[in-house]
Amino acid sequence: MILGAFFIIPVLSIFRHISFTGILESIKNDYYRNVISFTFLQAAVSTLAAVALGLPGAWIMSHINFRGRRLVSSITTVPFVLPSVLVVLGFVLCFGNSGILNSFIMKITSAEKPPLKILYSFKAIILAHTFYNFPIALRLISAAWRQIGNSRIEAAEILGAGRTRIFFTVILPSLLPSIIAAGSLIFIFCFMSFAVILVLGGGPAFSTLEVEIYRLARISLDIDSAASLALLGALLTALFTWIYIRLQKRASASIRAEKAHPLSKFSKLPARSRVFTIIYLLIILLLIIGPLAAVVYRSFQHRSGWSGNLAFTFKQYTDLFAGESSTAAIFTSVIIAFAAVLISLPAGFTAAYVIVRGRLTFSGLVETLFMLPMGVSAIVIGLGYYSLFTLLPEGFSNKGLLIVFAHSVIALPFVVRTFTTGIRAIKGSLIEASHTLGEGHLGTLLRVELPLLKGSIISAAAFAFCISAGEINAVLILSDGTTPTIPISIYRLISSYQFFGACAMGTVLMLICGIAFYLIDHYGGDEIF
C-alpha cells in the first residue's frame, strides 16, 4: 500500500535516531521550548488574523450576487494554490526596504529612509500567513453561511429579535462548526509553515519547529536532535489533524442540513452594504494581486550595477531559458509533478473508493489514516526519506525518485479528500439502477461512476500537480544540488539577492500554478479543504 511504503516506513525510519533521553533533553532545553512556544504563538495569531479577514468575504460571497463574482472567487483561491516560496518573493518585493510600497511612500514624502520596516519581523510572518490562508476561511465559512435558510431568520424577526441578536443566537451558532474547522486547518498549515518563516523571519528569534528541524538536519548535521524535534512536531500536528477531521465532519453535516438561501442583487443592497462590499473587494484584490503583479513586473526589469536605473527588458527570460541550470529546474519540476500525479491519483482514488463503497466497519479510521500526511509536515517527511536513504545500498544515488515519492505522499490527502467528496455525491439510485440492468461492480464503475467523477479527477490531478511543482520543504532536506527544482532555484536566487532572476523563475511557476488553479476552481470546489 502506498501509505505504508511511501509514508509510514520513511517516517518510522526516523525513530532509529531517537532516544528517550534525547527527547527529554529537547523538552528541557530552554531554546527548544522557546521555539515550540513561538511556533504555537505565530500559528495562533496567524489563524485569528486569517479568519478575521475571511469572515467579511464569506458574508459577501454567501449573500451577494454581483458581476464578476466567479472571477473574485477564482482570485481568492490563488494564494492557497501558490507555493509558499512565491508568496515570500511577492512580499519581499512589495514590503521590503526597497519594495514597491516603501519606494512609493519615499517618493511622495521625500523621505530618505524606508518608513515601513515590515520584513524580517513577526509582522511579516503574520501578514504572509494571513494572505496565504484566509481563502480557506472565506470558502469554508461562505459555504456554511450560504446554507443558513431564511426560515429561521424570519422566525427570529417575528419574535422581535434585532439584527445583532439574530447574528449571535441564530447565525453564529450555525457557523461556529465551520469557523472552528477552518481555523483548525489554518492553524495546522501555519504551525507547519517553513519557507515563510525561513525567509521572512530573518533569524533565530523567529525560528519554528520546522525551521529548527531543517537547521539541525542539513546545516548542523545533528540528525538525532532533528529526529527528536520531528517526532514532537509530528505528534502535535497529527493531533491537530485528527481534531480538524472531526470538526470538518460536523461542519459538513450542518452544511447539508438546510436548503441554500437565494443571493441578493448588488443593486438592491443598502448604500452602506454596497460601499463596504466595494472597499473589501478592492482591499482583497490589491492584497492578492499586488504581490503577484510585483513578481511579474520585476521579471521584466534589469538594473545595470548596484545603483543603476531600472530598465524594461526581456533579459531575465533570455538568461532563464538560455541557462542550463534554469531549464533543468523547470524540466525537473514538471517531470516530478507529473510522476507524483501518476502515483497519487490512482492511489487516492482507490483509497477513496474503498472508504466510501467498501462498507468498512472503521471507514472513519481509514479515512483519518489517509489524511495523516497532511498532519505531518513535508520537512518531517523529507527527513524520513533522508534517514531511509542512508540505509539504501551505496549504489543507489537517485534522490529524485525519493522526491517523487515524498511529493506523492504530500499530495495524497488532498486527492483522497477530492475523490471521497465526489464519490459520495453520486446518487445511490444510479448505482442501484445500473445493477438492476445487469452491470456488475466493475461495469458500474467504468460506465456510470467514472464519467460522473470527471471533474473530481481533473481537480485532484491539478491539485496534486500544483502541490508537487511548488513544494520546497522536502526537496531542501533531500536535495544535494543534483535535483534542482523551480522552488529551490527561486530560494537560491532570493538568498543571493538576485531578485530579478527569481521573479522570472517565479513567473514561470505562477503560470504553471495558474493553469492548475483554474482547473481546480472550474471543476473542483471547497472539497479540497
Question: What pLDDT digit, counting tens, does each position of 282-300 carry?
Answer: 888 777 788 888 888 888 8
Cβ atoms of 336 and 403 closer than 8 Å: yes
Among 71-75, 149-153, 213-217, 316-320, the minimum mean pLDDT is found in: 149-153
More reliable by pLDDT, 55 or 72: 55
Residues 507 and 406 in one domain: yes
- Neighbour-count burial for 212-233, b at 16+ CB within 10 Å, e otherwise: bbbbbbbeeeebebbbbbbbbb
- pLDDT for the residue 168: 75
Residue of 64 and 28 predicted with greater confidence:
64
Structural Rg of the chain based on CA atoms: 24
Please check whether residues 225 and 188 belong to one and the same domain.
yes
Task: Write out the H or E segment, with its range, that includes residue 265.
Answer: strand 264-265
Is 28 a member of any domain? no
pLDDT tens-digit profile of 411-446? 998 898 889 888 888 887 888 888 777 777 778 888
Lowest model confidence (mean pLDDT) among 371-375, 420-424, 487-491: 371-375
Indicate if 399 and 484 belong to the same structural domain. Answer: yes
More confident residue, 37 or 388: 37
Boundary-marking domain end, from 271, 297, 323: 297
pLDDT of residue 308: 62
Domain count of the fold of the chain:
2
Across all residues in the chain, what is the average pLDDT? 80
Residues 222 and 320 in one domain: no
Residues 129-158, mean pLDDT to the nearest whole number: 80
The CATH number of the domain holding residue 481 is: 1.10.3720.10
- Sequence-ordered list of residues with C-beta below 8 angstroms from that of 128, at least 6 positions apart, any chain: 87, 88, 91, 196, 200
Residue type, 432: E
Instruction: Give the model's pLDDT for residue 203.
Output: 67
Mean pLDDT along residues 150-160: 70
- Distance in angstroms (rounded) separating the CA atoms of residues 226 and 326: 31
Residue closest to 310 by CA, chosen among 453, 528, 500, 452: 500
Least confident of 291-295, 317-321, 361-365: 361-365
Per-residue confidence band for 341, with pLDDT thresholds at 50, 70 and 90: very high
- Comparison of pLDDT for 93 and 18, the residue scoring more: 93
Expressed as residue numbers, the domain containing 282 is 47-297
